[in-house]
Amino acid sequence: MLRLRVRYALLIFFFLAMGAYWATIGMDRMHDWGDDFAQYIRQAQLILEAQPATSGGYIYKDYAYGLGPPSYPAGFPLLLLPIVAYFGNSIIPLLIWIGILGVCAWFAVFFFYRKLGLPVFVAVCFIVLMACNRHILFMKTDIGSDFSFLSLVFLFMTLKESSWQRYSFLRYFLLGIMLVFALLLRSAGITLLAATAIAMLYDRYCQNRSLSSFFSATIYAASIMVISILGFYLINHVWLGAAKDDGYIRQLFLHGRKDLWIVNIQTYAKLTAGFFFHISSWNLLVGTCIWLMAFVGWILDAKQKLRTHHVFFIIYAFLLCIWPHAAYRFLLPLIPLLVLYLFRCIYWIYAHSHTVIFLSSLLLAIGVSLHSISVQRSYLRQGFLVRFDGPYDSLFLEAADAVQQYTAKDDVVIFRKPRVMALFAHRKSFVLPDNGNREQCLYEMKKEDAAFIFIDKATQEYQEQNMMLISDTLLFSSVWANSRFELFRLRE
């Protein structure tokens, strides 16, 4: 009993220490001129104001589909509500809150590992291996909804593997709520919904291999999907007024390459290797080996019993292959499963040796943590609260006040980060076409009745795209400027 108490005391201390580290490290880095995070905060403000998500000021354009959709699913803005309600868009509370959500995600992964029967210290080594690598620590202030999605996915799969015989109705009710909220957090939540339906269909069919059982299981799985999607639609579109797709997904795939799936397989192989150790010349080979060993581990694990996490892994990996964007953040929900299946393969290779698994995971965790600390030594030397870049820079905050002063509430201001403009200056905004000629740009301005252009002189955009417009003094006049930003008005 004493040994058990010491073990759990050490475990609690570990998570508290990691939580403190996570909530504070990198707090002088914010989302580098990110539109995504600005839109999440703006949507949270609109929920508090009981306004539809599409009234935030961002004007979506098909030619600028790369910026993002007209509005995001409402899940992450709902999670930001308590912070936005009390602190507004202040960066410090937001970063601490995201750090807390990140720690919750690793808690969820830990409980998932324990539910599968992994020893405590092996599960802890796996968590350190993932949570303390340089990419996660650098991205934790950039990712936003992805940690929340990671947390929900693994809490769901942990609960699904649990057996509440006396509270089965409550268990299924919670699982249903989680499925709806997964869709609200990320569009990729559809993969969790599909994985649940397929695993449930397979499980029911294996229990009774008859045609009638197969049809009843199919109807049951289809009902779960329909009810979850309906719940998502009612909350996201009817209650909170989020925009429908509006051609965003179509534009993504329309501009994607024909050999996209081949490119994505190569890209994610490199990203997987680079996620832990960056060895640029070997990333493709190392990443390919990791994925191949993980698939072997997946087969070994799924042979015993096909579970929801097995199906989710395959569906989500397929989605990554065909999705037009490739980034570390999209890989995040697969990382815990990749680690699990990779070590399942090693466990099989070394004749089911628990010692090999523990020592190899411990050495990798120590190596990744030391590598992460060495990369972040500049933060540790300078302290945590050093400077703020991007929208929280003092020059931009001064410029946002000037925009509010020199423009009316209904004016449209052109800026390369329209959702940042909508959040900080509360003005409608959009971006002009890349490589658009003078006539195209003026046509878009006339179409949206835009009379102002806001310029960031530190970017290449100032030299190329908007320079051809603002250089025409017969059309534009300078209204306000500081050392970095300048506001121009279209002459009447």
DSSP E strand boundaries for 98-194: none
Classify 447 as helix, strand or coil.
helix
Domain count, the chain: 2
Q: 454 has which bridge partners?
A: 487
Residue 160 lies in a domain: yes
Take residue 129 and report the two structure tokens written for it: 């291996």
Whether residue 198 is found in the same domain as residue 341: yes
Whether residue 408 is found in the same domain as residue 273: no
What's this model's pTM, rounded to 2 decimal places?
0.84
Whether residue 363 is found in the same domain as residue 329: yes
Whether residue 190 is found in the same domain as residue 88: yes
Whether residue 356 is found in the same domain as residue 414: no
Contact 162, 179 (CB under 8 A): no
What whole-number distance in Å separates Cα of residue 448 and Cα of residue 470? 18
Whether residue 300 is found in the same domain as residue 418: no
Among 358, 381, 404, which residue terminates a domain?
Answer: 381
Helix (H) or strand (E) holding 401: helix 394-406
Q: What's the pLDDT at 314?
A: 92
Number of helices (H) and strands (E), helices first, in the chain?
23, 5
Whether residue 407 is found in the same domain as residue 300: no
Whether residue 250 is found in the same domain as residue 142: yes
Helix (H) or strand (E) holding 262: helix 260-276
Tell me the Ramachandran region of residue 431: left when phi exceeds 0, alpha when psi lies from -120 to 50, beta otherwise. Answer: beta
Residue 192 lies in a domain: yes
Contact 332, 146 (CB under 8 A): yes
Amino acid sitting at position 243? A
* CA-based end-to-end distance of the chain: 82
Residue 120 lies in a domain: yes
Whether residue 322 is found in the same domain as residue 410: no
Residue 61 lies in a domain: yes
Whether residue 48 is found in the same domain as residue 195: yes
Residue 386 lies in a domain: no
Task: Render each residue's pLDDT in the chain as its tens digit; 492 residues.
Answer: 556 666 666 666 666 666 666 555 555 444 455 677 788 888 888 888 888 877 878 888 877 777 778 888 888 888 888 888 888 877 778 777 877 787 888 888 988 998 888 887 788 878 877 777 766 766 655 556 788 888 889 999 988 887 766 666 777 788 888 888 888 888 888 888 888 888 877 777 776 666 666 666 677 667 777 777 777 777 766 666 666 655 555 555 555 555 566 667 777 777 777 777 666 677 788 888 888 989 999 999 888 888 889 999 999 988 888 777 777 778 888 989 998 998 888 888 776 666 777 777 777 777 766 666 665 555 555 544 444 456 777 788 888 899 999 998 889 988 888 888 888 888 899 888 876 677 788 888 888 888 888 888 777 555 555 566 666 656 778 888 888 888 888 776
**Residue 7 to residues 363, 366, 380, Cα–Cα distance (Å):** 20, 20, 30
Amino acid sitting at position 25? I
**Which residue range forms the structural domain that includes residue 6?**
2-381
Residue 177 lies in a domain: yes
Among 346, 381, 416, which residue terminates a domain?
Answer: 381
Whether residue 355 is found in the same domain as residue 427: no
Among 333, 357, 381, which residue terminates a domain?
Answer: 381
Q: Check residue 41 and report its DSSP letter.
A: H
What whole-number distance in Å separates Cα of residue 410 and Cα of residue 397? 20
Residue 407 lies in a domain: yes
Whether residue 413 is found in the same domain as residue 302: no
